[in-house]
Amino acid sequence: MAHEDGANLPGVLIVEDNAPLRQVLAVFLKKEGCRVLEVEDGPGAIDAFRREADVSLILLDWNLPGMSGDKVYDELLRIRNGFLAVVMSGSPPAEVARAFAGHRISRFVQKPFRPQTIAGMVRLLLADGEPSNTRNSDETARSADCG
């Protein structure tokens, strides 16, 4: 994503229905040099992902109103692959792991968490640059292991 000064900034899409959490995450990610898009639900995520071709990473809440995070992820993959995905949830990790079985996510983060932790994780994932949804199935199983 282009910045006013011409520098390319990595695009991060935050999909979180808790507005205060979403806003705090956005502040921390902007400090990390990311261009941030914020949406509160699955349909908003799908629309933003269609409009913004240069989203590199998605922070995805699993417990979204109307459409679960795993269903949102499926829809995003129908649009394109080659992006990183971090799933966030306050639900038990085993429950989230079952919902995302077969999905290629980069990381799972248990709520509550510190926004600084997410910002650092995003920085490292973007520096590595390997999209989670292009890995082989053995790597996928390890990445999605929430236990």
- CATH number, domain with residue 108: 3.40.50.2300
Q: What's the distance, Cα to Cα, between the start and end of the chain in Å?
A: 35
Q: Which domain holds residue 87?
A: 11-144
Q: How far apart are CA 25 and CA 36, in angstroms?
A: 9
* Residue 91: both structure tokens together: 């639900």
Residue 20: pLDDT band (50, 70, 90) is very high
Domain assignment present for residue 2? The answer is: no
Q: Which pLDDT does position 8 carry in this prediction? A: 74
Q: How far apart are CA 146 and CA 93, in angstroms?
A: 5
* Count of structural domains within the chain: 1
Domain assignment present for residue 97? The answer is: yes
Q: How far apart are CA 68 and CA 66, in angstroms?
A: 7
Q: Which pLDDT does position 47 carry in this prediction? A: 97
Domain assignment present for residue 74? The answer is: yes
Domain assignment present for residue 3? The answer is: no
What mean pLDDT is reported for the chain?
85
- What mean pLDDT comes out for the span 32-54? 96
Residue 2: pLDDT band (50, 70, 90) is very low
Domain assignment present for residue 30? The answer is: yes
Q: Which pLDDT does position 135 carry in this prediction? A: 39
pTM: predicted TM-score of the whole model, two decimal places: 0.84
Domain assignment present for residue 34? The answer is: yes
Domain assignment present for residue 66? The answer is: yes
Q: Which pLDDT does position 86 carry in this prediction? A: 97
Q: What is the pLDDT of residues 44-70, one digit of tens each?
A: 999 999 999 999 999 999 999 989 999
Q: What is the pLDDT of residues 116-141, one digit of tens each?
A: 999 999 999 999 876 666 533 333 33
